[in-house]
């Protein structure tokens, strides 16, 4: 069946299937649309619980097999019960027919929503012919905790000193810590606390919702079951300013009669080691737990169970749990039934109760951390007698699941590393003070399976010692853990090295999008470095849906802003306390701007607008004649060149000012927009006067100087070509190798492309000689390295003081793979008008990408065969696209076998730079052109 027939068949099925829906009484129109309304989401999430945005934003996508399909109008119904929704009664909100093509960020405008209410909703749309679609599948969200004054739960903890016997149990593990690393003889880590209580359920339940939070990390359990699938809850914030709670539906876990509720409470980011491993207790010393469980009975009555003085506490099998140091678990100390009713807790102690906490308690707005994948070992070696090394074949973040059988008291130790020493033992020196060691002590009753819960490691290799006998492959399974940011992109081309590069980028994203965008997952650092995040965010958006993730982190970033306007080096703040650094602090402007471009999110601009203005004001105050002083980290980890820091500083000052001017216009602040545009012009003039000579040479004369100036539009028109010539010369001098750090790198290929040097961009991409992406891949990289010379054939490992093999910053080239090689870009924000502009080169015979945008699926796949260029494109319904096809003339371009100019939905625009340009509506297209190159 050819594609056209397939489309006709699908249409027929849709028409037949759609007839049933015609019986749905409909007061507007009787025509029926083939459009389906999919993926209803609230605040970027699928059926979120516990929203505390008073007027949440709704979104959906529409799909259609027809070309040029559009949404003319929509209707949203929100009901307080499933029955009402089903019957078409929007008792909370009936938007009526709203003439609009908007499908994202539609603000709820119904009745005020009280705490705990469940809002069921659905949406239908009118298409371009005003025919009506069927309703979307029903979706829901619930509202979060009531106002603080109505909250009943108290913050509880357990601060008792360890019993002498517990201390002894901890002792042997402390030998794992090398004194040299932390300068301390002993590592004293407090054990996680176990908390419990019992409550009664008297009558049949209609609904049961629990709200839980901690200063620290919590695992909540009810009647022996873990609540939810999230890890490291409640997430990382500056706890002195705000702490989040999660909301779970627990109706299925409760039963009539007595119920047991328990929580394990660990240090986490709140009280444990984070950042440079010399210091714990960054936000507080003693973890606290908060829980409010609300039961609504079928008869309408309600009951609240909350953390208070009546809870009991103790220490249990967890002897240690720390992000950087690892976890120690003595299974002999398990307390079966501790999280169920009927457990004898008479030996447990009393909890301590803390009245208030310093920060706000709010609903978690992001993407919680979850287990994502499992990895089987590819190889096991015995590096030394009794020391087994498991190779999982992939560098990632997460932990290892251990399976073991042996005698009670047998101690199995797991250590983790990214790379091996030449003798096959694990190389851990680059982990610095992070001990990264998990210890499991067997209880000795058959096969035991164990996973840590309050730590994670960055690793490819697991070293196992103390294992009883010879471990088989099932002894270790890698568990990949990261924030639940769904994969939305895929990329493939005819160059296997580039495919590996793409995979490595996605792995470094997986490994570092863990609650906050971290620099690396393995050594004692793992911080939300702002420079890394802003350099990578555009690439990140192509790989995964990071909308909720960055919505959350941008709050961390604003919380961390210095009152003087300086955005920090890391967010959440603490640990590394610097701020105001060029290219790092600018994350405060670049990230919201990227969220706007990619997701069409204007709200994020409004939300952070004042903070962004303060940043620009700070830069202005701290510059002289609009030139920023040399300050900060410069072009971090560059090899073989040193870009002057004042160039980077002023270039970013100009760039952030320009972006803020654009954003001001978007939210209707037109005066500000003009003012910032004028300021941008003045900074540009100052930059040129101070740093650019008549022949286009820029002070420093490095690759990074030119990429920044070109990409940020800092040069007058007549100097762009000259500067581009200097960039080419600088590359030639390095024998066509890059010499940028991660600041310049992000703009290098885009700047070359803009200036018509696609061939050089492809040459850099495909290189495998030092320094290049290919060099690391040739030497076995399965993730992006922090440094070009992380390992070289001549010198071996770089200085272990700073040498991560899993840093996403150099992976910022991912945006060029999607945006230039496959050619998918957004034009009107939120992909309302898509740019499809594949730019073949580098000898590639095919390349393509698929991307689930906020507006729907976009695809662009090209191949070159026998002098023909073929391009398959998918453009989502309700959007349009501008398509650029390499061709010697527009007339000879065919679409699905016919002259493109006559094809349905295709409007020829003309020739531009050896491409034939067409404006198209939604749908699938196949273009073919003669390809003379
Ligand atoms: C981090 C970087 C970060 C940098 C700032 C490093 O330790 O790993 O990625 O941006 O410090 O200089």
Q: Return the pLDDT at 23.
A: 32
pLDDT digit string, tens, across residues 83-125: 999 999 999 999 999 999 999 999 999 999 999 999 999 999 9
pLDDT digit string, tens, across residues 725-736: 999 999 999 999
CA distances from 473 to 385, 450, 912 (A): 18, 15, 58
> Could you identify the atom of ligand 1 that is nearest to the CA of residue 529?
10
Q: Are 630 and 582 in contact (CB under 8 A)?
A: no
Distance from residue 548's CA to the centre of ligand 1 (Å): 24
> Could you identify the atom of ligand 1 that is nearest to the CA of residue 636?
12
What average pLDDT does this structure show over 689-707? 98
* DSSP per-residue letters across 686-720: HHHHHHB-TTS-BTT--HHHHHHHHHTT-S-HHHH
Q: What is the 3-state secondary structure (H, E, C) of 307-321?
A: CCCCCEEEECCEEEE
Residue 424 φ/ψ region, left for φ over 0, alpha for ψ in the -120 to 50 degree band, beta for the rest:
left
> Could you identify the atom of ligand 1 that is nearest to the CA of residue 584?
10
- CA-nearest residue, atom 8 of ligand 1: 519
Distance from residue 570's CA to the centre of ligand 1 (Å): 9
Pure H helices in 456-529: 496-512
Task: Classify the C-alpha dihedral 170-175-181-182 as positive or negative.
Answer: positive
Which pair of structure tokens corresponds to residue 195? 């908390």
Q: Return the bridge partners of 371, or none.
A: 481
pLDDT at 163 over 90: no
Mutate to test the pocket of ligand 1, among 431, 508, 636 (most ligand atoms within 8 A of CB): 636
Give 286's Cβ-side CA count (13 Å radius): 12
> Could you identify the atom of ligand 1 that is nearest to the CA of residue 809?
9
Q: Which are the catalytic amino acids?
A: 525, 786
- CA-nearest residue, atom 3 of ligand 1: 529
* DSSP per-residue letters across 248-267: EE-GGG--SEEEEEEEEEE-
pLDDT-derived band of residue 10, with 50, 70 and 90 as boundaries?
very low
Distance from residue 762's CA to the centre of ligand 1 (Å): 28
Q: Are 676 and 613 in contact (CB under 8 A)?
A: no
Mutate to test the pocket of ligand 1, among 519, 581, 585, 802 (most ligand atoms within 8 A of CB): 519
Q: Return the pLDDT at 167.
A: 59
**What are the start-end ranges of the E strands in 466-603?**
476-483, 489-493, 513-514, 516-517
pLDDT at 4 over 80: no
Tokens 């100052």 locate to 686
CA distances from 470 to 64, 385, 473, 636 (A): 57, 11, 10, 45
pLDDT at 482 over 70: yes
pLDDT digit string, tens, across residues 197-216: 999 999 999 999 999 999 99
User: At a CB cut-off of 8 Å and minimum separation 6, what does 845 contact?
Assistant: 494, 863, 864, 865
Mutate to test the pocket of ligand 1, among 532, 536, 537, 742 (most ligand atoms within 8 A of CB): 532
CA distances from 200 to 154, 191, 226, 880 (A): 19, 30, 19, 58
What average pLDDT does this structure show over 762-773? 97
Q: What percent of the chain has pLDDT over 70?
A: 94
Q: Return the bridge partners of 118, or none.
A: 142
Distance from residue 429's CA to the centre of ligand 1 (Å): 18
pLDDT digit string, tens, across residues 251-302: 999 999 999 999 999 999 999 999 987 789 999 999 999 999 999 999 999 9
Q: Return the pLDDT at 277.
A: 75
User: At a CB cut-off of 8 Å and minimum separation 6, what does 359 contact?
Assistant: 237, 238, 239, 240, 241, 242, 243
Tokens 């290892």 locate to 400
Q: Return the pLDDT at 933.
A: 65
CA distances from 320 to 172, 177, 777 (A): 12, 13, 37
pLDDT at 307 over 70: yes
What average pLDDT does this structure show over 373-395? 98
**H/E element, 427:** strand 426-427
Mutate to test the pocket of ligand 1, among 633, 800, 801, 803 (most ligand atoms within 8 A of CB): 633
Provide the mean pLDDT of the chain: 93
Distance from residue 519's CA to the centre of ligand 1 (Å): 7
- CA-nearest residue, atom 5 of ligand 1: 633
pLDDT digit string, tens, across residues 553-577: 999 999 999 999 999 999 999 777 7
C-alpha span between 269 and 271 (Å, rounded): 6
pLDDT digit string, tens, across residues 825-884: 999 999 999 999 999 999 999 999 999 999 999 999 999 999 999 999 999 999 999 999
Q: Return the pLDDT at 884.
A: 98
pTM above 0.85, yes or no: yes
pLDDT digit string, tens, across residues 498-525: 999 999 999 999 999 999 999 999 999 9
Distance from residue 645's CA to the centre of ligand 1 (Å): 16
Distance from residue 529's CA to the centre of ligand 1 (Å): 7
pLDDT-derived band of residue 166, with 50, 70 and 90 as boundaries?
low
Q: What percent of the chain has pLDDT over 90?
A: 90
C-alpha span between 217 and 233 (Å, rounded): 6
Q: Count CB-CB contacts under 10 A for residue 52.
A: 20
First to last CA, the chain: 34
pLDDT-derived band of residue 8, with 50, 70 and 90 as boundaries?
very low
Q: Return the pLDDT at 32.
A: 82
pLDDT at 897 over 50: yes
Q: Which long-range contacts (CB under 8 A, 24 or more apart) does 17-22 make?
A: 18/134, 21/134, 21/135
> Could you identify the atom of ligand 1 that is nearest to the CA of residue 633?
12
> Could you identify the atom of ligand 1 that is nearest to the CA of residue 520?
8
Distance from residue 509's CA to the centre of ligand 1 (Å): 16
At residue 76, what are phi and psi to the nearest 5 degrees?
Answer: -115, 135
C-alpha span between 702 and 116 (Å, rounded): 58
pLDDT digit string, tens, across residues 594-621: 999 999 999 999 999 999 999 999 999 9
Name the residue among 367, 356, 343 with its Cα closest to residue 221. Answer: 343
Q: Return the pLDDT at 178.
A: 42
Q: Show the ligand 1 pocket: residues with CB < 6 angstroms.
A: 519-520, 525, 529, 531-532, 633, 636, 802, 807, 809
Q: Return the pLDDT at 478.
A: 98
Q: Count CB-CB contacts under 10 A for residue 490.
A: 17
What average pLDDT does this structure show over 25-36? 64
- CA-nearest residue, atom 11 of ligand 1: 529
pLDDT at 179 over 50: no
Q: Return the pLDDT at 169.
A: 52
C-alpha span between 428 and 179 (Å, rounded): 14
């Amino acid at each position: 069946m050819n594609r056209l027939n397939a489309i006709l068949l699908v249409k027929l099925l849709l028409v037949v299937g759609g007839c049933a829906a015609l019986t749905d009484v409909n007061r507007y129109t009787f025509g029926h649309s083939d459009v389906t309304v999919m993926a209803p989401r609230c605040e970027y999430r699928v059926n979120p619980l516990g929203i505390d945005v008073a007027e949440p934003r709704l979104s959906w996508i529409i799909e259609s097999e027809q070309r040029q399909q559009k949404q003319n109008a929509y209707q949203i119904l929100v009901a307080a019960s499933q029955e009402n929704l089903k019957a078409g009664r929007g008792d909370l909100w009936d938007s009526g027919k709203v003439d609009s093509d908007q499908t994202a960020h539609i603000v709820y405008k119904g009745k005020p929503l009280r705490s705990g209410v469940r809002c069921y909703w659905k949406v239908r749309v009118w298409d371009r012919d005003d025919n009506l679609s069927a309703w979307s599948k029903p979706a829901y969200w619930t509202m979060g905790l009531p106002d603080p004054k109505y909250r009943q739960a108290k913050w509880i903890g357990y601060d008792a000193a360890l019993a002498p016997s517990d201390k002894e149990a901890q002792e042997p593990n402390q030998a794992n810590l090398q004194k040299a690393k932390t300068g301390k003889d002993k590592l004293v880590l407090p054990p996680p606390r176990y908390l419990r209580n019992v409550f009664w359920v008297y009558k049949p339940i209609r609904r049961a919702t629990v709200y839980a939070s901690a200063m620290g990390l919590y695992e909540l359990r009810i009647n022996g079951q873990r609540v939810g699938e999230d890890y490291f809850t409640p997430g990382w914030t500056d706890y002195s300013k705000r702490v989040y709670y999660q909301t779970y539906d627990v109706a299925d876990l409760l039963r009539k009669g007595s119920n047991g509720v328990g929580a394990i409470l660990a240090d986490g980011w709140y009280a444990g080691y984070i950042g440079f491993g010399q210091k714990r207790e960054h936000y507080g010393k003693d973890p606290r737990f908060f829980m409010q469980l609300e039961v609504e009975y079928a008869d309408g009555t309600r009951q609240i169970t909350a953390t208070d003085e009546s809870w009991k506490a103790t220490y249990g099998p967890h002897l240690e749990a720390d992000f950087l140091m690892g976890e120690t678990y003595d299974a002999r100390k398990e307390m079966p039934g501790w999280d169920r009713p009927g457990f004898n807790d008479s030996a447990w102690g009393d909890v301590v109760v803390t009245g208030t906490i310093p920060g706000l308690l709010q609903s978690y707005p992001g993407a919680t951390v979850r287990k994502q994948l499992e990895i089987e070992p590819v190889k096991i070696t015995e590096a030394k007698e009794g020391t087994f090394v498991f190779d999982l074949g992939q560098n990632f973040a997460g932990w290892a699941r251990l399976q073991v059988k042996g005698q009670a008291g047998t101690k199995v130790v797991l250590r983790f590393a990214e790379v091996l020493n030449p003798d096959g033992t694990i190389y851990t020196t680059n982990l610095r003070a992070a001990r990264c060691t998990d210890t499991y002590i067997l209880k000795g009753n058959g096969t035991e399976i164990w996973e840590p819960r309050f730590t994670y490691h960055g690793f490819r290799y697991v070293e196992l010692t103390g294992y009883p006998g010879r471990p088989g492959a099932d002894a270790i399974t890698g568990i990949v853990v990261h924030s639940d940011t769904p994969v939305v992109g895929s990329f493939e081309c005819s160059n296997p090295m580039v495919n590996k590069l793409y995979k490595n980028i996605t792995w470094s994203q997986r490994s570092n999008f863990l609650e906050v965008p971290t620099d690396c997952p393995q050594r004692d650092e793992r911080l939300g470095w702002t420079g890394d995040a802003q350099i990578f965010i555009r690439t990140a958006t192509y790989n995964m849906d990071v909308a909720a993730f960055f919505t959350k982190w941008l709050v961390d970033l604003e919380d961390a802003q210095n009152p003087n306007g300086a955005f920090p080096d890391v967010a959440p703040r603490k640990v590394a306390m610097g701020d105001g650094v060029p290219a790092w602090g600018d994350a405060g402007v670049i990230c919201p701007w990227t969220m706007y471009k990619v997701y069409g999110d204007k709200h994020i601009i409004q939300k952070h607008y004042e903070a962004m203005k303060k940043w620009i004001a700070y830069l202005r105050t701290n510059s002289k004649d609009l030139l920023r002083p040399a300050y900060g980290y410069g072009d971090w980890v560059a090899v073989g060149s040193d870009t002057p820091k004042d160039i980077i500083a002023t270039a970013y000052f100009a760039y952030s000012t320009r972006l803020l001017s654009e954003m001001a216009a978007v939210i209707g602040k037109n005066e500000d927009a003009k003012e910032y545009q004028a300021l941008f012009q003045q900074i540009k003039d100052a930059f040129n006067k101070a740093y650019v000579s008549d022949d286009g040479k820029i002070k420093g004369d490095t690759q990074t100087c030119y990429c920044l100036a070109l990409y940020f539009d800092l040069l007058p028109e007549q100097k762009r070509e000259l500067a581009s010539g200097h960039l080419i010369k600088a590359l030639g001098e390095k024998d066509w190798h890059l010499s940028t750090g991660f600041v310049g790198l992000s703009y290098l290929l885009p700047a070359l492309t803009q200036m018509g040097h696609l061939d050089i961009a492809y040459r850099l991409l495909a290189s495998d000689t030092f320094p290049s992406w290919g060099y690391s891949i040739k030497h076995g990289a399965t993730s992006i390295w922090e440094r070009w010379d992380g390992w070289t054939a001549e010198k071996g490992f770089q200085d272990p003081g700073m040498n991560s093999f899993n840093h996403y910053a150099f992976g910022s080239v991912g945006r060029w793979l999607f945006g230039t090689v496959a050619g998918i870009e957004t034009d009107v924000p939120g992909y309302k008008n898509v740019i499809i502009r594949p730019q073949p080169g580098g000898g590639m015979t095919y390349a393509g990408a698929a991307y689930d945008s906020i507006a729907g699926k976009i695809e662009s796949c090209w191949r070159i065969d026998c002098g023909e260029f073929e391009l398959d494109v998918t453009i989502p319904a309700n959007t349009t696209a501008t398509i650029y096809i390499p061709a010697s003339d527009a007339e000879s371009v065919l679409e699905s076998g016919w002259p493109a100019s006559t094809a349905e939905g295709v409007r020829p625009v003309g020739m531009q730079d050896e491409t034939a340009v067409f404006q198209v509506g939604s749908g699938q297209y196949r273009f073919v052109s003669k390809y003379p190159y």
